[in-house]
Amino acid sequence: MKKKIKNSILELIEGDITDMETDAIVNAANANLILGGGVAGAIARKGGPKIQEECNKIGGTFVGGAVITTGGNLKAKYVIHAVGPRMGEGNEDEKLRNATLNSLKLADKYNLKSIAFPAISTGIFGFPIKRAAKIMLDTTITYLKEKTNLEKVVFCLFGKDSFDIFKKQLEKEQ
């Protein structure tokens, strides 16, 4: 599903984010930037040790923050590590909004044309996916209406259920 927003395309696909050929993919990271399970684990396996080595040099970032590393052996040139909230830690909606926004800003800072997001915080961090879809899509749409170099933002969703939830939310935005 695609939607044009000003000069950019917002696209939803069901798939494996590690196979994306966008300039950057977003890793649903933890604050210590340790590539363990879920999206981060898949990125570590396919991208190779160079990504974790760069994360170790950075050392970490705050919840809601985002940092960038090489894409290692991935098709994407970069990985943007965005730290989403764990449910129950407080102020989760704002933290997820910031993780999304800071990823988009970092992509622009590096003059990237395309970026792919997973559904941040909806795995082991326990964030409700319907709420995540609304926050992440609203934040992205608002951002794309402003001045940006991004030509394409993809939400690469793992599994039909996740895709359907984001699709339903994007349809409400029209």
Residue 142 vs residues 8, 33, 35, 118, 157: alpha-carbon distances, Å: 12, 28, 30, 18, 20
> Residue 122: is its pLDDT beyond 70?
yes
| pLDDT at site 36 | 87
Q: What is the pTM of this model?
A: 0.96
Stated as kind and residue range, the H or E segment containing 130 is helix 129-144
The whole-number average pLDDT for the span 117-129 is 94
Cα–Cα–Cα angle for 97, 101, 104, rounded to 5 degrees? 150
- Which DSSP symbol is given to 19? G
The whole-number average pLDDT for the span 68-97 is 97
Least confident of 13-27, 35-49, 54-68: 35-49
pLDDT class of 113 with cuts at 50, 70, 90: very high
The CATH label, of 3.40.1190.20, 3.40.50.720, 3.40.220.10, 2.120.10.30, for the domain at 2-173 is 3.40.220.10
In tens, the pLDDT along 42-51 reads 999 999 999 9
Cβ count near 106 (within 10 Å): 21
Cβ count near 59 (within 10 Å): 9
| pLDDT at site 38 | 84
Q: Any long-range contacts for 158-166 (C-beta under 8 Å, 24+ apart)?
A: 158/14, 158/15, 158/16, 158/17, 158/39, 158/118, 158/119, 159/14, 160/14, 161/129, 162/14, 162/119, 162/122, 162/129, 163/12, 163/13, 163/14, 165/129, 165/130, 165/133, 166/12, 166/119, 166/133, 166/137
For residue 79, the cross-strand partners are 25, 69
> Residue 174: is its pLDDT beyond 70?
no
* Spatial contact of 140 and 173, defined as CB atoms under 8 Å apart: no
Mean pLDDT for the chain overall: 96
**AA identity, residue 102:** N
Percentage of the residues of the chain whose pLDDT score is greater than 90: 94
